[in-house]
């Protein structure tokens, strides 16, 4: 059982309209947003931040942003966000080989050096205490400009919020997200855990 029960999608019409964004990214409105709308200012601010962070401004693709989100969520242990991130990565065109081997991004041939630098940044920035150091910075600057690094950290920070929200709430994982989690993460022991 979640800490707080999600409300109907009809509860707040402004949130419902903004949440149409998630029909593209996930195919459904997340239960996390349905819970946030108990305070509509939070749900609306969150959706607008999500839209801004996930907008494509350059070479950081939608698929890479979702893989950055997965690495961040994996580092923090949030099963809810892991399933959502891998589902969105698939929907935004991540290569099948990348989806199947996301756990091995550091060594698998499906990932470029630029992608590895971005995903290493995600891992280091998601750790507590934070592990972003000069080596991470040097590697990032080999492949990415400052605007792109801001985009990446926007994703990492957004998922820092979501990882805390969903793990603390025990947000119920939606059926389609469970399916994606099992498909791409199951071989490494993906479980729904508290998100039933």
Q: Which residues of the chain have pLDDT under 50?
A: none
CATH of residue 81's domain is 1.20.1290.10
Contact 111, 165 (CB under 8 A): no
Here the tokens at position 107 are 């060594």
What's the CA gap between 128 and 163, in Å, rounded? 13
The pLDDT value given to residue 1: 84
Closest among 34, 2, 38 to 18, alpha carbons compared: 34
Radius of gyration (C-alpha) of the chain in whole angstroms: 16
- Domain-located, residue 193: no
Closest among 155, 166, 154, 20 to 81, alpha carbons compared: 166
Dihedral pair phi/psi, residue 3, rounded to 5°: -60, -40
What's the CA gap between 144 and 62, in Å, rounded? 15
The per-type count for the chain, helices as H runs and strands as E runs, is 11, 0
What's the CA gap between 138 and 140, in Å, rounded? 6
- Domain-located, residue 104: yes
> How many domains in the chain?
1
- Domain-located, residue 4: no
The pLDDT value given to residue 152: 98
- Domain-located, residue 6: no
The pLDDT value given to residue 57: 87
- Domain-located, residue 175: yes
């Amino acid at each position: 059982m979640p800490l707080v029960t999600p409300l109907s999608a009809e509860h707040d019409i402004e949130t419902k309209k903004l949440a149409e964004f998630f029909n593209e990214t996930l195919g459904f409105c997340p239960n996390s947003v349905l819970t946030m709308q108990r305070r509509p200012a939070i749900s609306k601010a969150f959706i607008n931040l999500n839209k801004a962070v996930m907008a494509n401004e350059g070479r950081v693709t939608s698929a890479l942003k979702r893989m950055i989100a997965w690495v961040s969520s994996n580092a923090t242990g949030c099963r809810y966000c892991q399933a959502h991130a891998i589902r969105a990565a698939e929907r935004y065109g991540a290569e099948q080989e990348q989806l199947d081997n996301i756990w091995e991004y550091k060594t698998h041939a499906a990932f470029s050096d630029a992608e590895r630098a971005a995903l290493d940044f995600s891992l280091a920035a998601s750790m507590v205490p934070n592990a972003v150091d000069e080596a991470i910075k040097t590697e990032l600057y080999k492949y990415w400009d400052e605007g792109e690094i801001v985009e990446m950290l926007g994703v990492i920070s957004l998922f820092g919020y979501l990882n805390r929200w969903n793990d603390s709430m025990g947000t119920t994982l939606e059926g389609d997200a469970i399916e994606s989690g099992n498909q791409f993460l199951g071989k490494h022991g993906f479980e729904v855990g508290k998100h039933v």
